[in-house]
Amino acid sequence: MSWIAYLISLAFWGLIIGAFARLALPGKDPMSLFMTMLVGIAGSFIGGLVAWLLFRSAGGLFFSFLGAFLIVYLIRRSRGGSLTDPGRGRQLRP
């Protein structure tokens, strides 16, 4: 597989995993598509590391989802939100 195809595949699956993680938490999250993709990629990386440390095997979609879910939750907490409320975040308009 070429590098371009690999990066496109990584971006696509990152977007899918990030979108599922955002949908799992109630409320609207103020994230762009690019940020959702990065959350999915980072969640896949974290999930893969955890799976490797616990089971010495590849993580798969479940651990990728759990990693992305954790990242979305931590982003919410940093904005002052909770599990069910996304929080106010930054106000762009006065």
Mean pLDDT over each residue of the chain, to the nearest integer: 84
Q: What are the residue ranges spanned by the domains of the chain?
A: 26-85
Q: What is the mean pLDDT of residues 65-89?
A: 81
Spatial separation of the C-alpha atoms in residues 25 and 90, rounded to whole Å:
19
Q: What is the pTM of this model?
A: 0.80
Q: Which residue has the tokens 């949908």?
A: 23
Q: What is the mean pLDDT of residues 76-93?
A: 68
Q: Which residue has the tokens 């959702």?
A: 36
Handedness of CA 6, 8, 9, 15 (dihedral sign): positive
CB of 28 closer than 8 Å to CB of 57: no
Under the banding of pLDDT at 50, 70 and 90, the label for residue 68 is: very high
Output the six-digit token pair for 64. Answer: 């990728």
Beta strands of 1-94 (E only): which ranges? Answer: none
